[in-house]
Amino acid sequence: MSAILTPPDHELLSLLKGGDRNAFTTLYNRYWDKLLAIAYNHTRDKQSAEEIVQNLFVGLWNRREDLVIENPANYLATAVKFAVFKEYYRKQKREASLIGKLTFEQEHQIEEQISAKFLKEYINGIVENLPEKCKLVFKLSRERHLSNAEIGEELGIAEKTVEAHLTKALKTIRTELNSSGVMIVIATGINHFIK
């Protein structure tokens, strides 16, 4: 009995752009469980998690012609995490509107807070996966605001080595952000996924 071969993600995305429902169904089946697990891990509520993932796929279908996705697995996982943040802040917004009406500026501020918090959390995750010395140098630079010379002195390494670690950390962060689709997710504000 031979295994049924399914096209790789990049082929499915190409077919999806053309409106191929079978390609959409294949992506849906391929990623539903993984995305549901991510959403549930953050929400701890099965119904909310299912709703978030369902809305994500509805948005994916509705925006299929406009999306430029290099890595669907990373993009969808990132979109789900962002959607969880949106849901959390949407609840806060609802509570605030019960107290009194929010102005347009306040709503915009809340949206910016969501993006900033999500981006910070995502970058922190990338930093935690850096090699130990690289991570330490980056944290000393960004969290304690030490100069390269001060970091070198504290760690007993050359200033050029500090610069090399910082360069590596920043390059890794940029690469991860670009390949994961985080910037696309934030740029679209996920509004198309969650109504």
Report phi then psi at 184, rounded to 5. Answer: -65, -45
Model confidence over 122-179: pLDDT tens digits?
788 788 888 999 999 999 999 899 999 999 999 999 999 999 999 999 998 888 777 6
Position 184 pLDDT exceeds 80: no
Alpha carbon of residue 168 to chain centroid: 21
Domain boundaries, the chain: 9-188
Q: What is the pLDDT of residue 41?
A: 87
Position 2 pLDDT exceeds 50: no
Position 88 pLDDT exceeds 80: no
Contact between 73 and 52 (Cβ < 8 Å): no
Q: What is the pLDDT of residue 149?
A: 95
Position 185 pLDDT exceeds 70: no
Q: Rounded to whole angstroms, how far apart are CA atoms 116 and 184?
A: 14
Q: Rounded to whole angstroms, how far apart are CA atoms 46 and 71?
A: 26
Position 1 pLDDT exceeds 70: no
Residue with the two structure tokens 């089946």: 29
CB atoms near residue 190 (< 10 Å): 25
Question: Which CATH entry fits the domain spanning 9-188: 1.10.10.10, 3.55.40.20, 3.40.50.1980, 3.40.190.10?
Answer: 1.10.10.10
Contact between 55 and 36 (Cβ < 8 Å): no
Position 107 pLDDT exceeds 70: no
Largest CA distance in the chain: 64
98 vs 23, residue with greater confidence: 23
Q: Rounded to whole angstroms, how far apart are CA atoms 7 and 87?
A: 33
Return left, alpha or beta for 189; rule: phi > 0 is left, psi -120 to 50 is alpha, else beta.
left
What's the pTM? 0.56
Helix H or strand E encompassing 140:
helix 132-142
The helix-helix angle for 159-180 and 104-128 (nearest 10°) equals 120
pLDDT band for 103, please (50, 70, 90 cuts): low
Contact between 31 and 76 (Cβ < 8 Å): yes
Q: Rounded to whole angstroms, how far apart are CA atoms 23 and 12?
A: 5
Model confidence over 35-79: pLDDT tens digits?
999 888 888 889 988 998 998 899 889 888 877 777 788 788 888
